[in-house]
């Protein structure tokens, strides 16, 4: 006689952590890379000086297209459409998620702290500022990619987010060099 097993339940706190990581990543790109004016009906107004100018238009357009992917992925990780078994298999529960969340949070907080500290400094920003900022951004993107890579194992179009992040890092390295 077969026994039916109840599927493991989804922890709402873990769903909230995944959504926070995705939201922080989306907001970070809006604030530091694309410079989106939240009140502008036309969307992105500028692209970071960390990115070569010849890529600005394509980056803005790609970012507009990617918004729906971010929203869909964020919605899925916060719902029952991302079953607990898939979360377990992707390392997005329990202690594995705690570690990934802590890495993302620390990387996010460190780049924000650096940027705020620099904003308080009235000196003009030169290439050394952008090199340091790029290093912080790169670490933030690497931390975020740990989670996004896990998500994309179960939500295939999460891969589009990971590839976009890799593109930003590549472009930042291209203009400012590869050293952190």
In DSSP notation, 112-154 reads HHHHHHHHHS-SPP-HHHHHHHHHHHHHHHHHHHHHHHHHHTT
Residue with tokens 């970070």: 28
CB contact set of 76 (below 8 Å; sequence gap of 6+): 82, 155
What is the average pLDDT across 74-93?
A: 91
Q: In terms of Cα–Cα distance, which of 154, 16, 21 is closest to 83?
A: 154
pLDDT at 21: 94
State pLDDT tens for residues 40-56: 556 555 666 667 677 78
Whole-number Å distance between alpha carbons of 26 and 153: 20
pLDDT beyond 70 at 179: no
Please say whether the beta carbons of 100 and 92 come within 8 A: yes
State pLDDT tens for residues 94-110: 999 999 999 999 999 99
Dihedral sign, Cα of residue 94, residue 163, residue 21, residue 112: positive
pLDDT at 98: 96
Query: Among the ranges 5-19, 36-50, 125-139, which has the highest mean pLDDT value?
Result: 5-19
Phi, then psi, of 42 in degrees rounded to 5: -90, -5
pLDDT at 52: 65
Q: In terms of Cα–Cα distance, which of 165, 18, 9 is closest to 97?
A: 18
State pLDDT tens for residues 114-127: 877 877 666 666 77
Tell me which H or E stretch contains 16: helix 12-28
Residue 48: both structure tokens together: 């970071």
What is the average pLDDT across 18-23?
A: 94
């Amino acid at each position: 006689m077969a026994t039916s097993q109840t599927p493991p339940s989804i922890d709402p706190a873990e769903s909230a952590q995944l959504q926070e990581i995705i939201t922080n990543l989306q907001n970070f790109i809006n604030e530091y890379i694309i410079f989106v004016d939240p009140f502008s009906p036309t969307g992105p107004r500028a692209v970071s000086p960390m990115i070569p100018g010849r890529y600005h238009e394509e980056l803005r357009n790609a970012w507009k297209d990617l918004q729906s992917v971010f929203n869909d992925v964020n919605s899925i990780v916060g719902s029952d459409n991302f079953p607990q078994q898939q979360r377990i298999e992707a390392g997005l529960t329990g202690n594995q998620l705690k570690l990934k969340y802590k890495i993302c949070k620390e990387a996010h907080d460190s780049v924000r702290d650096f940027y705020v500290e620099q904003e308080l400094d009235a000196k003009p920003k030169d290439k050394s500022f952008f090199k340091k900022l790029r290093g912080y951004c790169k670490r933030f993107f690497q931390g975020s990619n740990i989670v996004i890579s896990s998500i994309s194992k179960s939500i295939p179009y999460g891969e589009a987010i990971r590839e976009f992040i890799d593109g930003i890092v590549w472009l930042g390295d291209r203009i400012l060099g590869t050293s952190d």
